[in-house]
Amino acid sequence: MELEHGIAVVTGGSRGIGLAVATELARGGAKVALLARDGVRAMEAAGGLPGGGHLGCSCDVADTAAVGEAVRHVTGELGSPTILVNNAGITRDTILLRMKDETWDEVIDVNLKGAFNMARAVIRGMLKRRDGVILNISSVVGLVGNPGQVNYAASKAGILGLTKSLAREVAFRGIRCNAIAPGYIETEMTAALTESQTQTLLTRIPLGRLGVPDDVASLARFLAGPAARYITGQVVVVDGGMTM
């Protein structure tokens, strides 16, 4: 139980990749708080995690005040967070020509500002304790781009700059900050892919299948734990070889 005594906050932990990551962290012995806008679903998901004493709560990560409140609530119930996984994310795809200000802003606010809001809310506690791990879920789209996703790709590339700058900022206190860049992972986010889109994608994935949330979660558990103690400021791609 390498994460025993760990207190983890996973944003977007109510389903998909976030829920798989939360499950692995709980298996590692951490107490986990799941944050999502739908608080009921987050609470139900928290109730299903291995071990006991986990927490689910409603929080829109784009809302600075709500993030402060949620982190105070988690700290009061479980203690000061030692692991933060910035996983909450949305897509609002359309070509640049048709993209409205709101469509750009919404994606940047959730995917990028949300990660900033969360990191700022937990970092003081981590600095005080001289211990902490921050994992940011980016995307291969942030590395190689994707037509129809200028907002999403910009947010996911932004996450990489945030990760590396923060890693440099807090390393002196032993705090690590890394990013994971998944390829195509089967979740509600990618459920809209048609059969022919999936077949086309598969021709580009050397390992011959789409990813599943557990493919990301096992890496997250490793990066959150002591075996990754000398790894910081890195971006680890989990995409079946698609973008090698």
Interface ranges with ligand NDP (CB under 6 A): 11-12, 14-18, 35-38, 41, 59-62, 87-90, 110, 137, 139, 182, 184-185, 187-190
> Dihedral through CA 121, CA 117, CA 26, CA 134, nearest 10?
-90
Residue whose tokens read 């001289």:
130
Residue 104 vs 174, nearer CB to ligand NDP = 104
Rounded to a whole number of angstroms, the minimum distance from the CB of residue 4 to ligand NDP is 26
Going by C-alpha positions, the residue among 221, 224, 144 that lies closest to residue 181 is 144
Angle of helix 64-78 relative to helix 114-129, nearest 10 degrees? 40
The Cα–Cα gap between 42 and 36 comes to 6
87 vs 155, 173, 244, CA distance in Å?
Answer: 12, 24, 23
Comparing CB distances to ligand NDP, the nearer of 68 and 174 is: 68
Tokens representing 222?
A: 């490793």
Active site residue 230: no
Q: Which two tokens stand for residue 96?
A: 């640049």
Residue 125: strand, helix, or coil? helix
Rank residues 101 and 188 by Cβ distance to ligand NDP and give the closer one: 188
Candidates 6, 88, 151, 152; catalytic one: 152
Shortest Å distance, C-beta 41 to ligand NDP: 6
Comparing CB distances to ligand NDP, the nearer of 24 and 60 is: 60
Question: Which residues are part of the catalytic machinery?
Answer: 152
